[in-house]
Amino acid sequence: MASTLRPQSIELLNNIALLRRLRDPDGEANLYEDWKRLVRWLQSELRNLAPALRNWGKPWVAIDANSVSVNVEPDASWTSGGQSVVCFYFSIFRESLFEDHSAPNVGLWINLEWEHCDALRAILQAHGRPAGFVSAYSDDGITEQDCPFWRSLPLQDFQISGTFDLQRFVKEIAAAFESLAAARPIVDGYLAAHLPGRPLVPPLRKALILDLETWGAGNPDQDEIIEVGLILTAYDSGSGELVGVLERYEGLRDPGRRATAAPSGRLTQQMVAGKKLINERVEALINQSDVIISHNAFGFDKPRFERLFPSSKSRRWLCSCRDLPWSSSGLDAANLEHLCERLGVKNRGAHRAMPDAEALLQVLAQKDGTISYFAKLISTAPRLENVIARTGSRPQGKSK
């Protein structure tokens, strides 16, 4: 376990008192990088460390500039509309080395945007806190509205004679999760009574996963599509979860003399010579879909595809690159190649339309906790539509 942190970070932890007097900003920044590594390690090992969580869903991480956490729910019953409404968490902060009030902690979190947040918090508090947990900061009595109880793990409590006991720190994190698990029946009972039941046969909708290969200089008004990969999928309209693949279509297209750039190495003029897309099949897939999904939809695929198939303008488009917070899930980049590598997805032919579409579908099918990335993406659609209606444009993000 000690190898999870670099020697420089161990040295920082072994000299907490000195560093607090010096308040070295470099020390804070360097250690925060290892906090991220520690949390990613906990993501894979938490259910082994805390036996009460062994049959729970896969933990998921959230990372931003100031804090990093690993979160876990027993199953999808703790979610609503593709979002977590309750979870257990371990959180550690960038400034934890210096500030007692921001010490690492384990707790129970309730989504403040959920309409039942206040009621569930009151019920949990009425049943009493697990041993060692509090409801307010001890120094100022401030309560966290989204955390009915939590347990602080100050770093100096794990330092003995100038040596930080990392093994004991991890054991205390696991023990705190074990204590929290006792609250599960209370949460389960409340959610069963207040979340809408799911029909035995859920109403289905259809999403079209799309990837294109083109020749051109990068101008969407001039580039020519030379290959199309389309996968029509069904998904549960309530949970947003994938149900299965309905149909596939892939086809090559000879752009003739319209292409403004030399062919790529993967697709030659000989390969596309005389090839035509079966437009009727493409139109049929567009007409069946409720939403079209591609990686970098608005920066690349959408304007080019709509020029060739104007009917797709009537469909809602989602971008799996920009519309999902990949960095908050502990993923360093949003490009498809990196996501495949980190999530264990094998692409049988990168930069070919159908293999890339299949790889994207497999990436989106992966679970982030108890919810798939596909369901998370589908759940962004109403929020994005509200932003577009209010501002007239989509929120900006990173490109492919």
Task: Please give the chain's pLDDT, 400 residues, in tens.
Answer: 555 788 888 888 998 888 888 888 888 888 898 999 899 999 989 999 999 999 999 899 998 888 999 999 998 889 887 788 999 999 999 888 888 778 999 999 999 989 999 999 999 989 888 988 988 765 556 677 889 999 999 999 999 888 999 999 999 999 999 999 999 999 999 998 887 766 666 789 999 999 999 988 888 888 899 999 999 999 998 889 999 999 999 999 998 876 655 666 678 888 999 999 999 999 999 999 999 999 999 999 999 999 999 999 999 999 999 999 898 888 888 999 999 998 989 998 888 999 999 999 999 999 888 889 999 999 886 544 443 343 444 444 333 3
Fold observed for domain 204-391 = Nucleotidyltransferase; domain 5 (3.30.420)
Q: Between vectors from CA 85 to CA 181 and to CA 65, what angle results, nearest 5°?
A: 95
- Scan for tokens 């805390």, then name that residue: 50
Provide the angle, in degrees to the nearest 10, between the axes of the packed helices 353-365 and 336-343.
50
The CA–CA distances, whole Å, from 270 to 223, 300, 350, 356, 373 equal 19, 25, 20, 22, 38
What's the chain's Rg over C-alpha atoms?
25
Pick the CATH number of 2-194 from 1.20.58, 2.60.40, 3.30.930, 3.40.50: 3.30.930
Domain ranges, ordered by start, for the chain: 2-194, 204-391
